[in-house]
Amino acid sequence: MRAAVLRQLGKPPGVEEFAEPVAGDGEVLVHVTAAALKPVDRQMAAGTHYASPRELPVLCGSDGVGLLEDGTRVFFGGPRAPFGAMAERTVVRRAQCFSVPAELDDATAAAVANPGVSAWLSLKHSAKLAAGETVLILGATGVTGMMAVQIAKVLGAGRVVAAGRNERTLRALGALGADVAIQLNRSEQELIEAFRNEAGNKRFDVIIDYLWGRPTESLLAAITADEFTVAGPETRLVEVGESAGPTITLPAAVLRSTALKILGTAGIPPWATLIEAFEQVMKRAARGELRIAIERVPLADIEQAWERNASGRRIVVEP
């Protein structure tokens, strides 16, 4: 069968013939119809992710949509190594296959699942967003950030502030539910003032951070009090990504002057929580409540697509 084969960390995969998968106990064969190319796939292939492969070759792709031998259409995740989703066929545990609404086409279902579930869990499970609260999405112009803007509104956020670097995408976020947009490509002091103005209008209850690095430092400077104040409700900052930098400088004054709680997203949530998030995302996407821009590419073009910056879109590989 044809597949996207990774033979060297740090290099794009190439399309080659690879051995056919054989299902074992509790496993099923999946005839793949669509697999999303996600940042985590690139990170694992680059060797920069903690779950990067230790033995090569492997097939790329961690999830997708396809048909079981009996014709059942499913979304699947976690193919058994060395197999992957970017192949004509793969093998996974049956328990890791989930039904897909008939209203969703394969490419959209493959594209929306990962960013949608990630954003849903960050907002509801980690941040415990309550109706009426103000949410700041830091990194709102990425695919998952755009999904987070929409899901925040779906979950009842009273106000959503979108901060991002892509000016064109940022302008379009109002149609997805953003009430305010903050352009991050400005001087540090201008950025601090922009965050301060929005926090002053109504404090941020929840911050979903896909960037870290300099933008987060500017945000923390903006919400740091410069005088003694009466303690208020907590601001919950959920750290999800590091596309602007892997580290920050965290002054003690930030934590001593504000009711700030910094949370991570490590570990897999309880299975029931994960399933609920998946079902909600799929249901809302099928209704048109969640939208995602996609770019379809054939498996044969994976090497070129791997290096492409599909800003605001999710590349979907079709074997």
pLDDT grade for 69, boundaries at 50, 70 and 90 = very high
- Alpha-carbon distances of 238 from 28, 105, 153, rounded to whole Å: 36, 31, 17
Q: To which H or E segment does residue 73 belong?
A: strand 73-77
Q: What residues contact 300, with CB distance under 8 A and at least 6 apart?
A: 2, 15
pLDDT grade for 231, boundaries at 50, 70 and 90 = low
pLDDT tens-digit map of 16-26: 999 999 999 99
pLDDT tens-digit map of 24-47: 999 999 999 999 999 889 999 998
Check pLDDT > 90 for residue 50: no
Check pLDDT > 60 for residue 224: yes
Least confident of 199-213, 223-237, 277-291: 223-237
pLDDT grade for 124, boundaries at 50, 70 and 90 = very high
* Alpha-carbon torsion, ordered 9, 15, 19, 21, to 10 deg: 90
Strands of 87-205 (E only): list them: 89-93, 97-99, 134-138, 159-164, 180-183
Q: Looking at this protein, which amino acid is placed at residue 183?
A: Q
Average pLDDT over residues 143-171: 95
Check pLDDT > 60 for residue 153: yes
Q: How much is the pLDDT for 104?
A: 96
Cis before 319? omega within 30: no
pLDDT over 70 percentage in the chain: 97
* Strand order across the 180-183 sheet: 180-183, 159-164, 134-138, 206-209, 235-239, 260-263
Check pLDDT > 60 for residue 229: no
Domains of the chain: 2-99+292-318 (3.90.180.10), 114-263 (3.90.180.10)
Q: How much is the pLDDT for 265?
A: 84
Q: How much is the pLDDT for 262?
A: 94
If you search the block for the tokens 């039904």, which residue do you land on? 99
Distance between start and end Cα atoms, the chain? 10
Q: What residues contact 252, with CB distance under 8 A and at least 6 apart?
A: none
Among 46, 44, 18, smallest CA distance to 32 is for 18
pLDDT over 90 percentage in the chain: 81
How is the chain split among helix, strand and coil, in percent rounded to 5? Answer: 35, 25, 40
Average pLDDT over residues 166-192: 93
How many CB atoms are closer than 10 A to CB 233? 9
Average pLDDT, the chain: 93
